[in-house]
Amino acid sequence: MEREEPCAECLRQSTELTAAICKRCGAYPEDCSCMSRSFAFTRNISCFIYEKAPRNLLLRFKLRNNPQLAEFISRRMYYHIRARYGDDFDCIAYVPQTYLRSLKRGYCPPKILAEQLAERLGKSVVSPLRRTRNFQQKYLGGAERWANARRSYSLKRDASVSGRVLLVDDLFTTGATLNACAEQLKMAGAEEVLCATFAIKIKKS
C-alpha cells in the first residue's frame, strides 16, 4: 500500500490532545460532554479534535478511497496509545462494518488501523464483533444514537476474548458505538476495554 502523508503545516494548525484530558471520553476538560456518563469501556484516548486537517484526513480515509492514509493515522494513534496506555493490554479489537459496506468501500477503516497498530504494538487482532444493521449514527440525536448502537452490534457465534482489550475506531462522537461494542466484548469475556480513536468530535456550545 502506497504511503501518503498529510500536509505538515495543516496539522500544525490542528488541535492535538497532548495535555490533561478527561479520563473517560478523552477530550480536554473544558470540552468534555460525557457528563460523568457510565461507559462499558474504562476510557478513550484520541489524537486530535475532529476539525480542520484531521477531519479532512478522516473523510479522505473513509469516504474517498484512500486506505493508504492508514499508515499515518495508525502511527499517530500508536504514539498516543504508548504515551497513555503503554502496552498493558492483551489484544486489539475494532468496530466492524457490515459486509456490504466493506464490500462497497473495499476495506474496513477500523480494521486496517487495528492491524497496523497490532504490528506496531506486537499484539494480535481479534474480531469477535459483527455489525447487524447499517443505519448511520450521524442522522440520529443523542438518545437515539445509544439505542441504535446497542441494536447494531452483536457477537459472532462462539466469540470469546479475555483480559484487557484495546478497541479501535476512527472517530469518537458520543461514545455510543464504542460503548455498545465494549458491552459485547465484556459479554464475550473481556475483563476491561480501553478505547483509542484518531479524532474526537467536540460538541459546540
CA distance 45 to 28: 11
- 129-131 vs 153-155, strand pairing mode: antiparallel
Strands (E), the chain: 43-49, 91-94, 124-125, 129-131, 153-155, 164-172, 192-200
| Residue found by looking up cell 494480535 in the block | 124
Q: How many CB atoms lie within 10 A of CB 197?
A: 30
Residues 123-159 pLDDT 10s: 999 999 999 876 665 555 667 778 888 889 999 999 9
Q: Exposure of 184 by Cβ count < 10 A (0-12 exposed, 13-18 middle, 19+ buried)?
A: buried
Angle in degrees, 0-180, between the axes of helices 70-84 and 109-121, rounded to the nearest 10: 50
All structural domains of the chain, each given as residue ranges with its CATH number in brackets, are 9-29+36-200 (3.40.50)
Mean pLDDT, the chain, as a whole number? 88
Of residues 93 and 13, more confidently modeled: 93
**HSE-CB of 32 using CA atoms within 13 angstroms:** 17
Of residues 59 and 11, more confidently modeled: 59
pLDDT value of residue 159? 94
Residues 50-85 pLDDT 10s: 999 999 999 999 887 788 999 999 999 999 999 999
- What phi and psi values does residue 65 have, to the nearest 5 degrees? 55, 55
